[in-house]
C-alpha cells in the first residue's frame, strides 16, 4: 500500500463540526456573530501575525482562563453588552460530540494493518484520552508539544514518532491551511467534510478499505 499510516485531526474530524458547536454557543449566549468572526479572522487567518492569542493557546503558552478573558474582551452581545469571560471556551465546545463513523474508519484501517495517529491543535479543550490513547499512536497534541499546525515542525515531529517517510502518511483535517501544511512537508492529505466522503476518498488510496467488512 502507498499509505502506511493515517493521521487524523480531532475537532471537526473525529467529532461533529466545530462550526455547529460555535453556532449553538453564539445563539445561547446571545453573542453578536460578527464580533466573533472578526476576532477569529484577526487571530487565525493566514495573514495573522505570529503570536496571536489563538497561536499561544494552541502551543500551551496561554492558559484557558487567560484566553477566555482576552476573547470575551473582543466580543459583544446582540444587545451591545459585555460577554462574561468565565468558561467561554467550555461553552464554545459544549456542543461537540464524537463522530462514530470516523472512529469506525480508524478501527477499519487498523484492522487492515494501517497505522493510525492523531495530530490536533488544542484550544484548552479536553480529549477522551482513554479512548484515543487506546486507538491512536502517536497522539500529538499541540499544547503538549509546544508546536502547532500548519507550521512544519509539528508535522515533522509526528512523522518522527511514526518512523515513516512523509509520502507514506496520509493526513486528514477539516481546515484547508492544515491540509496544505501537511502537503508542504511531503505528506499526502485529505480535506475532511463528512465521514462518507472521507472514507470514499481514502478507499481510492487504500483499495483494501473499499472491500473491508465494517462491523
C-alpha cell read off for 215: 462491523
Note the pLDDT of residue 13: 98
Give yes or no for residue 76 having a pLDDT over 90.
Answer: yes
**Of 16-20, 86-90, 109-113, 125-129, the least confident:** 125-129
Report how far apart, in Å, the C-alpha atoms of 162 and of each of 7, 90, 120, 179 are: 10, 32, 15, 18
Q: pLDDT band for position 125 (50/70/90)?
A: confident
Task: Indicate whether 212 pLDDT > 80.
Answer: no
Average pLDDT over the chain reads: 95
First-to-last C-alpha distance (Å) of the chain: 23
Answer whether residue 214 shows pLDDT above 60: no
Residue 1 pLDDT level (bands cut at 50, 70, 90): low
What is the reported pLDDT for 46? 87
* Mean pLDDT within 117-137: 94
Instruction: Residue 199: count other Cβ atoms within 10 Å of its Cβ.
Output: 18
pLDDT recorded at residue 213: 54
- How sure is the predictor about 215, in pLDDT bands with cuts at 50, 70 and 90? very low
Question: For residue 165, how many other CB atoms are within 10 A of its CB?
Answer: 11
Among residues 131, 120, 112, 132, the alpha carbon closest in space to that of 57 is found at 120
| Residues in a beta bridge with 116 | 6
Q: Is the pTM above the cut of 0.85?
A: yes
What confidence score (pLDDT) does residue 5 get? 98
How is 100-125 classified by DSSP, letter by letter? HHHHHHHHHHHHTT-EEEEEE--SS-
- What value does the mean pLDDT take over residues 93-109? 96
Measure Cα distances from 11 to 94, 114, 163, 215 in Å: 12, 22, 25, 24
Across 72-97, average pLDDT: 93
Q: Can you tell me the distance from the alpha carbon of 151 to that of 184, in angstroms, rounded to the nearest whole number?
A: 9
pLDDT of residue 126: 84
Interatomic CA distance for residues 213 and 81, integer angstroms = 54
Average of per-residue pLDDT across 180-209:
96
Which residues share a beta bridge with 8?
118, 172
Amino acid at each position: 500500500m502507498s499509505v502506511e499510516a493515517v493521521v487524523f485531526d480531532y475537532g471537526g474530524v473525529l467529532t461533529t463540526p466545530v462550526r455547529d458547536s460555535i453556532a449553538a454557543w453564539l445563539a445561547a449566549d446571545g453573542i453578536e456573530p460578527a464580533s466573533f468572526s472578526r476576532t477569529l479572522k484577526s487571530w487565525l487567518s493566514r495573514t495573522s501575525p505570529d503570536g496571536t492569542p489563538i497561536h499561544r493557546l494552541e502551543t500551551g503558552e496561554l492558559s484557558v482562563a487567560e484566553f477566555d478573558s482576552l476573547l470575551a474582551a473582543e466580543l459583544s452581545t446582540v444587545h451591545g453588552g459585555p460577554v462574561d469571560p468565565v468558561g467561554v471556551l467550555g461553552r464554545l465546545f459544549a456542543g461537540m460530540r464524537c463522530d462514530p463513523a470516523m472512529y469506525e474508519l480508524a478501527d477499519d484501517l487498523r484492522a487492515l494493518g494501517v497505522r493510525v495517529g492523531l495530530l490536533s491543535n488544542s484550544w484548552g479543550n479536553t480529549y477522551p484520552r482513554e479512548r484515543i490513547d487506546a486507538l491512536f499512536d502517536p497522539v500529538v497534541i499541540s499544547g503538549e508539544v509546544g508546536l502547532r499546525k500548519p507550521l512544519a515542525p509539528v508535522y515533522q515531529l509526528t512523522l518522527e514518532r511514526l518512523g515513516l517517510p512523509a509520502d507514506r502518511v496520509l493526513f486528514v483535517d477539516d481546515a484547508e491551511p492544515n491540509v496544505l501544511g501537511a502537503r508542504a512537508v511531503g505528506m499526502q492529505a485529505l480535506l475532511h467534510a463528512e465521514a462518507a466522503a472521507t472514507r470514499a476518498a481514502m478507499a481510492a488510496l487504500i483499495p483494501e478499505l473499499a472491500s473491508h467488512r465494517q462491523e
